[in-house]
Chain A
Amino acid sequence: MGFFLGIDIGSLTGKAVIIDDDATIKAQQIIYVKKLPIHTVNALMEDVLPKVGIEDISEVTYCVGTGYGRRKIPLANETISEITCHGTGAHHVLPSVRTVIDIGGQDCKVIRLDAKGNLKNFIMNEKCAAGTGRYLEIMAKTLNLTLDELGTLSLKAKAPLSLASKCSIYARLEVMQLISDGLKKPEIAAAINRAMAERVINLAEKVGIEEDVAVSGGVAKNIGVVTNMERIIGIKFKKFPIDPQIIGALGAALIAKRAYQKLYKEEKN
Chain B
Amino acid sequence: MTFNGWLMYYGGVDIGSAYCKCIIIDEEGIVAKALYPVEGNPQVISQKVVKDALAPQKLKVKHVKKFVTTGRNRKKFPLKNEEMTEVTCIAKGTYNLLPSVRTIIDIGAITNKAIKINEKGKVMEYVINDKCASGSGMFLELVAKALEMEVQDLGRNAAQSRNPLSITNQCTIFAESEVIYLVNEGKSEVDIAAGVCNSIAGNLYSLLKRVRMEKDITLTGGVANNGQIRRNLEERLNFELKTFPFDPSYVAAYGAALFAKEMEKKV
Contact = CB atoms under 8 A, between A and B. Distances in A.
Q: Do A and B bind each other?
A: yes
Interface of A: 11, 35-36, 106, 126-129, 134-135, 138, 166-170, 173, 180
Interface residues of B, number: 18
27 contacts: A35-B184, A36-B184, A36-B185, A106-B174, A127-B169, A127-B170, A127-B171, A128-B174, A129-B171, A129-B172, A134-B177, A138-B173, A167-B131, A167-B132, A167-B172, A168-B133, A168-B171, A168-B173, A169-B110, A169-B136, A169-B138, A169-B172, A169-B173, A170-B110, A173-B17, A173-B110, A180-B41
B177 A169 contact: no
B133 A169 contact: yes
Interface in B160-211: 169-174, 177, 184-185
B158 to A, nearest CB: 22
Most A CB within 10 A of own CB, among B130, B132, B136, B177: B132
Given A134-B174, A134-B177, A169-B172, 10 more contacts: A11-B177, A127-B174, A129-B171, A166-B132, A167-B172, A169-B110, A169-B133, A169-B136, A169-B173, A173-B110
A26 B130 CA distance: 50
Contact of B177 (A35, A106, A170, A173): A106
Contacts of B184: 35-36
Most A CB within 10 A of own CB, among B173, B174, B185: B173
Contacts, number: 45
A63 B173 CA distance: 32
A134 B142 CA distance: 15
A126 B174 CA distance: 9
B178 to A, nearest CB: 10
Contacts of A127: 169-171, 174
A166 B136 CA distance: 16
Contact of B174 (A36, A129, A166): A129
A129 B173 CA distance: 6
A81 to B, nearest CB: 18
Contacts of B185: 36
B171 to A, nearest CB: 5
B192 to A, nearest CB: 16
Interface string B205-242: 00000000000000000000000000000000000000
B110 A128 contact: no
Contacts of B130: 170
A166 B131 contact: yes
A226 to B, nearest CB: 23
Contacts of B177: 11, 106, 134
Interface string B107-131: 0001000000000000000000011
A196 to B, nearest CB: 14
B133 A170 contact: yes
A134 B138 CA distance: 17
A75 to B, nearest CB: 20
Interface in B122-153: 130-133, 136, 138
A134 B17 contact: no
A257 B169 CA distance: 35
A173 B42 CA distance: 13
Contact of B173 (A35, A134, A166): A134
A173 B111 CA distance: 13
9 closest pairs, A vs B, by CB? A169-B133, A129-B173, A35-B184, A167-B132, A128-B171, A168-B173, A129-B171, A167-B133, A169-B172
